[in-house]
Amino acid sequence: MTFSNSVRRTALALVAASWLAGAAAQEGPTFKEIMVGLGEDMNHLNAAIFAEDFEAIERYAAAIAHHPRPSPAERQRLMDAVGPRIELFQSIDRSVHGGAAEMADAARVGDMDGVLRYHARVMQGCVACHSAFRDQLTQPGTPQP
């Protein structure tokens, strides 16, 4: 059985596109893309809290706790940008992730007091990180991948 040149080219193009898509997926989103996604998740989470929609609270809190990771190159860029304050950055990051995971657990059992307690922890972590690192991570001189 032989394939025409057109079928071969199409198959090769599909394989190349698939490989490129796989390589891009392995790279991961940029830090900015992650922050934009987290902002959207926080907005949805806040609306879900106001509506007392525990299912949505759980979903968005879990999305925040388990957001996509940046590529290894992007992680290195972030580490280089925060420099010796990397431990503070990582500590705040762990607090936000942990608070979001705890919030999802509280929502799962319908515990609004717990949801609000962990929501405050997440918000405090987000604001602390933005206050401490936003300028360093977003200024024009920060190396980009």
Q: Which domains does the chain have, with CATH numbers?
A: 28-138 (1.20.120.10)
Q: Is 111 helix (H, G, I), strand (E, B) or coil?
A: coil
Report which DSSP code applies to 3: -
Q: What is the pLDDT of residue 87?
A: 95
Q: Is 143 helix (H, G, I), strand (E, B) or coil?
A: coil
- Of 58 and 27, the structure prediction assigns the larger pLDDT to 58
Give the model's confidence band at 63: pLDDT under 50 very low, under 70 low, under 90 confident, else very high. Answer: very high
Give the model's confidence band at 11: pLDDT under 50 very low, under 70 low, under 90 confident, else very high. Answer: very low
- Residue 120: which of 135, 132, 102 has the closest Cα? 102
Average pLDDT of the chain, as a whole number: 85
Look at the block and give the residue holding tokens 């992680």. Answer: 75
Distance CA 64, CA 67 (A): 5
Q: Is the dihedral of CA 130, 136, 140, 142 positive or negative?
A: negative
Report which DSSP code applies to 12: H
Torsion (CA) 59, 60, 66, 70 in degrees, nearest 10? 140
9 has pLDDT over 60: no
Q: What is the pLDDT of residue 26?
A: 54
- Of 45 and 8, the structure prediction assigns the larger pLDDT to 45
21 has pLDDT over 90: no
Q: How many residues in total does the chain contain? A: 145
Q: What is the pLDDT of residue 28?
A: 87
Tokens standing for residue 121: 């922890």
Top-ranked range on mean pLDDT: pick from 2-16, 31-45, 126-140: 31-45
Look at the block and give the residue holding tokens 């950055």. Answer: 89
Tokens standing for residue 21: 């898509």
Range with the poorest average pLDDT among 30-39, 86-95, 134-143: 134-143
Alpha-carbon radius of gyration of the chain: 20
